[in-house]
Amino acid sequence: MAKKTVATLQEGKKDGRSYTKVIKMVKSPKTGAYIFDEQMVPNEKVQDFFKN
């Protein structure tokens, strides 16, 4: 019964699903080593993140 109540409380909330965690591997100009660029971006901007 409690699981059903929790599920119905979260049903209307969709703010957390509008963002995606993206990770891009970038070569550091200083050392030449690869670093990871991690960001939380809105779902609409995911393609723009990888183009840059």
Q: What is the mean pLDDT of each run of 10 residues along the chain (52 residues)?
A: 58 71 93 94 92 81
Q: For the chain, which residues make up each domain, given as ranges?
A: 17-52
Q: What is the pLDDT of residue 52?
A: 74
Q: At 31, give phi and psi (nearest 5°).
A: -105, -20
Alpha-carbon dihedral 43, 29, 32, 20, rounded to 10 degrees = -10
Structure tokens at 4: 């059903």
Q: Which residues pair with 23 in a beta bridge?
A: 38
Q: What is the pLDDT of residue 13?
A: 60
pTM for this model (two decimals): 0.56
